[in-house]
Structure 1
């Protein structure tokens, strides 16, 4: 099988660099609970549209002389045509689009550099962690290539122990956010392609033998059995590890097998996590030289016929979709404060659930949702027309799915793994998504699998959902835009819906655009009255769907998109938000709020 040009280039770069001292390693679980220093803050950056810092004039990767060397002239006669130290600085985490007006539409390469001091300790490994970099990242430490990562929304880390100096160090990251037809997401998508190092950068110190990963979750269908496992980073047998939940007065000491893994099963009676009572327990994992603490909730999520059950009780998912867009028009969201603001707005509307679209959001968002009692739909960016028959594209999608599940598998708030959004039907697409669904279920069988499908319109206003993926998912979810992309608000009264599967139904998207503050006749698009009427008529229509178990209208807050160009209305914003980017609630927000208040009473 022929390797892609990108993979060949990466392999060649590694060989030419001669760096065998550092490597990407499996994602370290709960990195924030480890001893670490932050590398967030001001980073120097160089915009490199021709990639001069990476390729020579023959378009061959530099072996010497690349920007990754962070070279400085030793005398006035030395020729060095770049300087990080003389270049401007940018806040990391952050996107370049909102921090430099000249880079608002920029797609290409930007180099980032950070100097830092570090005191090495014997018997420890040093892990360089990135929460996310969009999209193609190549990472160098002290001039050595330590690894690369593709995918703009998932975390990754490298063991850089052997390239660190005792004292002064620098890290350089080449970031390339150009879109491509074989990428995930593909070349065409409806949100802003924010470039940069968009989430936290940490340098963690762990023992030579450390807890690489663990899972502690309630057994499916049980209220008092908590199985799990702990895995070390090395295949070391006969190592002692301990798992403890002090509040539940349970503790087990385990011994690892030849793979460095130890499984356990605790018996306890935890208070089950729910939106009404988002109870979290401190879980303590102890291994030689290491104590890791996490806050974990325990709950059951399942389906029965056309119902969704949380802890055995029928629920209605009162939701909304959210992009990872910082409130108050500030670009890519990443902080705890951003997450708290967005989720607070959702709760004010009456939500007990959010659809985090169309990619894995930051760990801050997921953990804040868990603390605030909000269930989560988490998704990978298999969006619209992916290269279904490209093996490298599938591998990319599966890796992003793997990384999303690995990071958040212990988060009780996450109830749905979503594998796609609005994908056109075909046999290659069905094979691609079927493999993803099967893979997700093997990784985690305690949560529900879904995807946002599309409906087919027939004669006589009949809307029928027919999708071969129905056999792979637990919940039937689909997007529909009556009153916006098809038909009128008044036509919603005539619509009939047919979902021929004995599974719960979530309307994963519906809505229409309105410029906050623009008022007019309810039959004229773009004003708040039209959007308000659209929501009123859609809710009346959707209530008639058999098995309706949840809604996540599109979308909580206006978000930037280069597809939305209408002057004086969109101005490169998708205006389907129920709240403006400046936090002002539109009239349709209160329609949803009233509807969800009634649903809350109905499901008490």
Structure 2
């Protein structure tokens, strides 16, 4: 793990005392974006003095003749964090712009302190304004961002306004076509951080050698000039280290921990870490472990491990549906995975909220985290690439000290082409530079040999770049009838571990019938019974994450009485009720766990 990585762009806000701006926000639905453009379609925020009709000015009538055609005070309310689609039936299918406004007083602070406003995620584009002044723009629906607001705050009555736009675009990441719901809104928490002039922006820490029990760490200061002392303490291990920040504010550490207990699913040991510099400090909890490959083996802490996984969408429908809103909902998803016998979760198809990653640390679940380079992206567009790399950077920098995260994934089911290969090669290099202590993968696809249609082949230039050869396959659902599963043989010519990142079939919970009847629990159950032995025959097979833990909303799934806007491949219904296939996979995982003991 190198310490001279790219400068940190995230704030480690999760472990700081913050002033929450969650709760009720006023909202105006604006499908024509009248609050942003004039009637000539020119943006108001590009004028030297925006008119009061621009929604971000949050203007009020001062005279009886003032023409102001909006009023946040009288507008509808939406809860933050939360998506708008499940909060108001009128917005169920809505894709477009919604203005959010929150008023607040400035937090208490010292004369030299700085203040940041931090957003966990906003889907998809956020234009952010404070007291009528534009702070900036963020694109990407699942990554954190922040703005410094030190000089723009008033003592009382601050107005924070966002134009949130979730319209799909061909040049966006993800692009126009996905198989999940395009939930719009401020979907994760918003908070204010008060910090000293020089503060700890970010840190990373990880075990890099089992032989030497060596830990490498770095701390990134913001506002540093160089020479500032930085202290790193792990009190339970007797570690107390001090280093000086360089001219870029980066302090590097290297030390040994021969008496440390290693993090694993069986024993998710976390240690308190204390970081301080000057007037600032933060406290976190970290696990120490290694993840590596050796030929076709996957090694956790130097020992072979089998990934008993499941894929998860960041959706919780048991209480009204929509995006996961808090740690309790995230914990329930992971508890269901634990009931299934999992030691691993694939967080698809975008970076999930920080709650679930930190809970995985605590609960002993290894994690695959990915960015939404999904299906077909605008591969030749440099702005699209930059967007993807920005999301990759934010994901890695936020979570690269979480022991649970063992895989960074670059993409899902992307068709091979020269432009795609160049795009993903650049992304892979960026990921390695950001963090070379974890495995790199992507969910690839299979095809069949032209001379033998029962030999499935995984062959992709991307497989040369990654550590874990992962692919999705749906034999028995999109690809032939279930009996085809019994005949397929596999040809995967890489001396690397093989992971099956998706398989499955749709079933509506409670719909019963014969194994030949699609949509029934019995069909899905039979497909699982056939698929698992087939996967066991793959040379180098080290695990799987079937699709998917629970049914989730998708506008592609419109069959009345069966789908009703839900992808039904879940082993649980959207309400958390198990289907028959749940118990097939649970029994299989219990057998795998017994083999490892």
TM range (shorter): over 0.9
1:181 maps to 2:165: no
1:447 maps to 2:435: no
> Partner residue of 2:369?
378
1:359 maps to 2:350: yes
TM-score (ref. length: structure 1): 0.95
Distance 1:116 1:223, change over 3 A: farther
Distance, in Å, in 2 between the alignment partners of 1:193 and 1:222 is 47
Distance 1:299 1:223, change over 3 A: farther
> Partner residue of 1:563?
556
Distance 1:282 1:414, change over 3 A: same
| Of 219-228 and 480-489, the range deviating more from structure 2 | 219-228
1:317-328 mapped onto 2 (5 Å cutoff) = 317-328=307-318
In the TM superposition, what whole-angstrom CA distance separates every residue of 1:103-129 from its partner, at most 9, and x where no partner exists?
101000000000111245311110100
8 A contact 2:209–2:215 mirrored in 1: no
Distance, in Å, in 2 between the alignment partners of 1:342 and 1:223 is 37
> Partner residue of 1:83?
71
**What is the aligned counterpart of 1:159 among 131, 134, 148?**
148
- Tell me the SS of whatever aligns to 2:151: helix
**What is the aligned counterpart of 2:92 among 91, 101, 104?**
104
Distance, in Å, in 2 between the alignment partners of 1:252 and 1:60 is 55
> Partner residue of 2:263?
273
1:222 deviation in Å?
Answer: 4.5
Distance 1:309 1:246, change over 3 A: same
8 A contact 1:119–1:167 mirrored in 2: no
Distance 1:119 1:200, change over 3 A: closer
Distance, in Å, in 2 between the alignment partners of 1:497 and 1:316 is 19
| Of 500-509 and 70-79, the range deviating more from structure 2 | 70-79
Distance, in Å, in 1 between the alignment partners of 2:455 and 2:250 is 54
In the TM superposition, what whole-angstrom CA distance separates every residue of 1:172-208 from its partner, at most 9, and x where no partner exists?
0100000011100010010000000000101000001
1:443 deviation in Å?
Answer: 0.8
1:257 deviation in Å?
Answer: 1.7
Stretches of structure 1 that go unaligned for 5 or more consecutive residues are 1-24
- Tell me the SS of whatever aligns to 1:134: coil
> Partner residue of 1:202?
191
1:221 deviation in Å?
Answer: 4.7
Distance, in Å, in 2 between the alignment partners of 1:222 and 1:430 is 36
> Partner residue of 2:4?
none
> Partner residue of 1:250?
239
- Tell me the SS of whatever aligns to 1:167: coil
8 A contact 1:134–1:152 mirrored in 2: yes
8 A contact 1:448–1:473 mirrored in 2: yes
Distance, in Å, in 2 between the alignment partners of 1:264 and 1:43 is 43
Distance, in Å, in 2 between the alignment partners of 1:221 and 1:249 is 19
1:227 deviation in Å?
Answer: 1.1
Distance, in Å, in 1 between the alignment partners of 2:430 and 2:455 is 34
8 A contact 2:410–2:427 mirrored in 1: yes
> Partner residue of 1:288?
278
In the TM superposition, what whole-angstrom CA distance separates every residue of 1:547-591 from its partner, at most 9, and x where no partner exists?
000100000000000000000000010000000011100000000
1:290 deviation in Å?
Answer: 1.1
1:235 deviation in Å?
Answer: 4.3
1:323 deviation in Å?
Answer: 0.3
1:29 maps to 2:14: no
Distance, in Å, in 1 between the alignment partners of 2:233 and 2:410 is 34
1:486 maps to 2:479: yes
1:236 deviation in Å?
Answer: 1.1
- Tell me the SS of whatever aligns to 1:147: strand
Distance, in Å, in 2 between the alignment partners of 1:433 and 1:360 is 17
**What is the aligned counterpart of 1:535 among 508, 528, 533?**
528
8 A contact 1:29–1:214 mirrored in 2: no
1:582 maps to 2:570: no
> Partner residue of 1:462?
455
Distance, in Å, in 2 between the alignment partners of 1:524 and 1:223 is 57
| Of 323-332 and 418-427, the range deviating more from structure 2 | 323-332
> Partner residue of 1:20?
none
8 A contact 1:94–1:332 mirrored in 2: yes
TM-score (ref. length: structure 2): 0.96
8 A contact 1:34–1:206 mirrored in 2: no
**What is the aligned counterpart of 1:522 among 499, 502, 515?**
515
In the TM superposition, what whole-angstrom CA distance separates every residue of 1:37-94 from its partner, at most 9, and x where no partner exists?
0000000000000000000001001131310000010122211100000001111000
1:61-72 mapped onto 2 (5 Å cutoff) = 61-62=43-44, 63=47, 64-65=50-51, 66-72=54-60
In the TM superposition, what whole-angstrom CA distance separates every residue of 1:361-418 from its partner, at most 9, and x where no partner exists?
0000100111000000000000001111111111100110000000001000000000
Distance 1:507 1:223, change over 3 A: farther
1:522 deviation in Å?
Answer: 0.7
1:457 deviation in Å?
Answer: 1.6
Distance 1:585 1:223, change over 3 A: farther
> Partner residue of 1:7?
none
**What is the aligned counterpart of 2:228 among 227, 233, 239?**
239
1:546 deviation in Å?
Answer: 0.4
In the TM superposition, what whole-angstrom CA distance separates every residue of 1:455-510 from its partner, at most 9, and x where no partner exists?
01233411011101111000000000011001111111111111110100000000
Distance, in Å, in 2 between the alignment partners of 1:222 and 1:557 is 41
8 A contact 2:207–2:214 mirrored in 1: yes
8 A contact 1:240–1:287 mirrored in 2: yes
8 A contact 2:175–2:377 mirrored in 1: yes
Distance, in Å, in 2 between the alignment partners of 1:194 and 1:53 is 22
1:223 deviation in Å?
Answer: 5.7
Distance, in Å, in 2 between the alignment partners of 1:435 and 1:151 is 19
8 A contact 1:450–1:474 mirrored in 2: yes
8 A contact 1:327–1:338 mirrored in 2: no
1:598 deviation in Å?
Answer: 0.2
1:525 deviation in Å?
Answer: 0.2
In the TM superposition, what whole-angstrom CA distance separates every residue of 1:310-368 from its partner, at most 9, and x where no partner exists?
00110000000000001415101131111110000000000000000000000001001
| Of 258-267 and 296-305, the range deviating more from structure 2 | 258-267
> Partner residue of 2:325?
334
